[in-house]
Amino acid sequence: MPGTANSFRADQVGSFLRSDALKEARAAQQQGRLTLEQLREVEDREILRVLDMQRQVGIDVVSDGEFRRGGWASDFQEAVAGYVPGAPPVVLSWHSPASGAATVEAPAATPSTGIVSRVIGEKLSRRRRLTEHEAAFLTAHASGPCKMTMPAASYVTTRGYKPGVTDKVYASRADVLRDAAAIIGEELAALSAEGVPYLQLDNPHYPDYISDERRDEWRALGVDAETALSDDIAADNASLARLDRSRVTIGMHLCRGNGPLGFWHTAGGYERIAERVFGGIEVDRFLLEYDSERAGGFEPLRFMPSNKRVVLGLVTTKSPVLEPQDELLKRIDEAARYVPLENLALSPQCGFASTLVGNPLTWDDQRRKLELVVETARRVWG
C-alpha cells in the first residue's frame, strides 16, 4: 500500500453540487446551443471553484466534483459501445430521505437528472478513454492528492445485464463481467500511469445481495445471488490486476443509492456479505455508508483484514443538518472496537450530487459538511 494511503484521514466520495451555470451550460450543449468547447470552458471554471473550496476546507484528497459527467457513472456508457434503450432488469424502490416512503418516480431517467435508461444489448467495446478528458485538468490543478472515480465492473453488469436482451449476445453474466472489467482495468492502468494517486471504484452493488427481497428478484431473473457475488468480486479484482500497487491507492465505495434529491434504495447491515467482500476485494480502502440506522451496526467490521482501511461515512449528504461532533466522536470510538483506530478515517457517506439534480443541500451546507469531516478527523488523528 502506498505510504500516503493511511494519511487520508479526511476523505470524500467524489461528487459535488453543480451550479446553475453548469447545469444550464450542459443543457444548452445537449440542445445544440453551446459547443462542446464552450461547455468545457464552463466546466473548467466550475472545477477550479470546487477545487478552491476543497483546499480552503483542508480535505486530504480532492476531486473535480465529477463536473464533466451527467451522472456519476455516465462516463462508461458514453465511452463504451454495446448499450441499447431499455428498462433496468430490476426496478429499484427509491425512498425519500425525508419520509422514507417508497417511490420509483422521483429519480426518473431524463437528461435533466443525468440518468439514462439503457441496458447491454451488444458486445461491450471501448470507443474512447473513459476519463482522459477529466484527469489531465484535475492533475494539473490539484495542489495535493486527488482522486478519480468510476463504476465498478459489478455495477456495470448488475445494472446492464438484462435476461432476454443481454443473453442474446453474451453466453453468460460472467462473460459480461469479464468485458466490463477489462475496459475498467485499462482505464485504471492509464490513470495510474498518468500519475493519479487515488483511484476509486464506486457502487459495486454487493449490497444488492443483502436483503431477501432483492435476492428473490434476481432469482426470478435466473441470477443466483451467491454465484453473482462471487463472480462480481472476481471481476472487480480482475480490473485491478494491471496496477502497480506501490504507486496508487485503491478505494471502493459501497453505495446504498444516491438518486436525485437524496433518494436511496438499499437498507440492511453489511453482515451478510462482509466476510466475503471485506476479505475478498483487493482494495486499500473501503468507504462505507454509516450515516443512518439502515446501514446497521459496526459488528461486520470484525471481518476487515488488518491491511485495509475503513473510511466511515458518518456524515450524511442527504440532509443539510449538521451531525453533532460529539456524536461522530462517539461513533468512531464504537467502530474502533472492531477496527484499530489507526486503520480508520472519516468522510461524508456518499457524494453530494451523484446526478445533475444533486442532493437537497446548498453550496454552503456542502462546505459545512466537509468542514465537519476535516475538523473531526483532525481532532481524532491530529
Cβ-contact 149, 12 below 8 angstroms: no
Q: Parallel, antiparallel, or unpaired: how do β-strands 80-85 and 285-289 relate?
A: unpaired
Q: Using DSSP, state whether 252 is helix, strand or coil.
A: strand
CA 131 to chain centre: 15
Residue 269 sits at the vertex; the CA angle it makes with 372 and 378, to the nearest 5 degrees, is: 20
Q: What is the pLDDT of residue 109?
A: 47
As a whole number of angstroms, the distance between CA 314 and CA 237 comes to: 27
Residues of the chain above pLDDT 70, percent: 88
Q: 125: which residues sit within 8 A by CB, 6+ positions away?
A: 80, 81, 82, 179
Q: What is the pLDDT of residue 4?
A: 53
Cβ-contact 152, 201 below 8 angstroms: yes
More confident residue, 92 or 370: 370
As a whole number of angstroms, the distance between CA 335 and CA 321 comes to: 22
Average pLDDT estimate for 45-72: 96
Average pLDDT estimate for 11-31: 96
pLDDT tens for 68-115 read 998 888 999 999 999 999 887 765 565 566 554 455 444 444 444 444
Transcribe 261-327 into DSSP letters.
GG-B---S-SHHHHHHHHHH---SEEEEE-SSGGG--SGGGGG--TTSEEEEEEE-SS-SPPPPHHH
More confident residue, 1 or 206: 206
Residues of the chain above pLDDT 90, percent: 71
Nearest CA among 247, 251, 303, 248 for reference residue 272? 303
Residue 32 clears pLDDT 80, i.e. is over it: yes
Q: What is the pLDDT of residue 90?
A: 66
Q: What is the pLDDT of residue 367?
A: 98
pLDDT tens for 224-260 read 888 989 999 999 999 999 999 999 999 999 987 555 5
More confident residue, 232 or 215: 232
Residue 268 clears pLDDT 80, i.e. is over it: no
As a whole number of angstroms, the distance between CA 246 and CA 3 comes to: 8
List the grid coordinates of 299.
459488528
Nearest CA among 151, 133, 145 for reference residue 203? 151
What number of residues does the chain have?
382
Give a three-class secondary structure readout of 69-101. CCECCHHHHHHEEEEEECCCCCCCCEECCCCCC
Q: What is the mean pLDDT of the chain?
A: 89
As a whole number of angstroms, the distance between CA 197 and CA 116 comes to: 30
Domains in the chain and their CATH numbers? Answer: 5-381 (3.20.20.210)
